[in-house]
Structure 1
Amino acid sequence: MSFAKGKFEAELNDIEKLLRNIDFFEERNFYPSNDFDPSVYRKKNYLENWKSLISDNIYSFMLTDNSILNFKLDIDNRKISYTYYECPFKSLSYKEYLIDNDIDFEEDSKIFIDYYEVYLHQCEQKENPLMIRYDYDENSYFEGVHPASHLHVGHKNQVRLGLNKILTPKSFTSIILRQNYPAYWKTLIISKNTWREAFLKEKSALLDISSSHWKKLDKSEFHLN
């Protein structure tokens, strides 16, 4: 397996620190639910999935733009899954909503959340909200078809971009910030900081996929490395 539970939790702590430092942190859920049935979610559209992930408590972080990140480690079944779901609405964050309505924000205050949810559904929906998910699953590996380590990009499609490395929560977060939030990413790379310094060494530090799960056909196709 790529790393132990302790290292996994330590990386989530680092992600929280980063999100707070760049003022992109809305909420951390320390006890996300593992009761996730993919077959149920495959029947829903993007908006329904985003709402269900929140209402079913299947997220690790909520960002200030109401997008969510979820990090799941299943050591027993040798599986990893990290998911980013962009908020499907063009909306204010909860804090911005309170300020905009002249309401004093108190840490962890959710007494106006019902009003905020009504506001959300009055906002314009984004035309193409983005979902990115990283999966590592040795049991589902099929040479040249289903990489053990891969990225899904987009909702309800068969895109699987193979990787010859095993991503960590921090490396996945770097991908999300780099690809979907260039302004936040720019603030990280133009100044000296612990995240930037770790990022410069991160790729070489990632574990390689074992040869039994990264074979000739996988190496021959275009992949991420």
Structure 2
Amino acid sequence: MDHPEGGTSHPCSHLHIGFHSENRWPVRRVITASAFTMLIAKQYYPQEWEALDSTLGEKFAETLDGILIAERQNCRIIGDDYFAELEERSFHFG
């Protein structure tokens, strides 16, 4: 469904939060499988994330947060052809 100002109710890249299938949160990046998996692990399993993180290297780049931030660089930004101006002006994950 198109909106009068050029957006859609079904964004090209989006997340579903919860079980309501019409609940689509626009995302400005294509999230890689690694980034998505790490983000879910960090948000839903924080104790395990911290426990595993303590076994890694001492430099920030060697920590889980450092690895997740580096993986974000692999999540390319969606071009304007696929991310409507209305989606850009509204709430979205960037």
TM-score class, shorter-chain normalisation, is 0.7 to 0.9
Candidates 41, 49, 56, aligned match of 1:177: 41
TM-score by length of 1: 0.34
Candidates 43, 67, 71, aligned match of 1:198: 67
Deviation at 1:195, TM superposition (A): 6.9
- Report percent identity of matched pairs: 26
What is the correspondence of 1:93-104 to structure 2 with a 5 Å cutoff?
A: none
What is the correspondence of 1:1-225 to structure 2 with a 5 Å cutoff?
A: 143-190=7-54, 191-192=56-57, 196=64, 197-225=66-94
Q: Tell me, which stretches of 5 or more residues in structure 2 are unaligned?
A: none
TM-score by length of 2: 0.73
**Aligned residue for 1:20?**
none
Deviations 1:68-105 (A, max 9, x none): xxxxxxxxxxxxxxxxxxxxxxxxxxxxxxxxxxxxxx
Greater RCO, CA 8 A, separation 6+? 2
Deviation at 1:217, TM superposition (A): 0.2
Structure 1 residues 169 and 204: CA distance shift in structure 2, 3 A: same
Give the distance between the partners of 1:188 and 1:222, measured in 2 at CA: 33
Please say which structure displays the higher CA radius of gyration.
Answer: 1
Name the aligned partner's letter for residue 202 of structure 1. Answer: E
Q: Hey, which bits of structure 1, 4+ residues long, moved more than 3 A?
A: 188-191
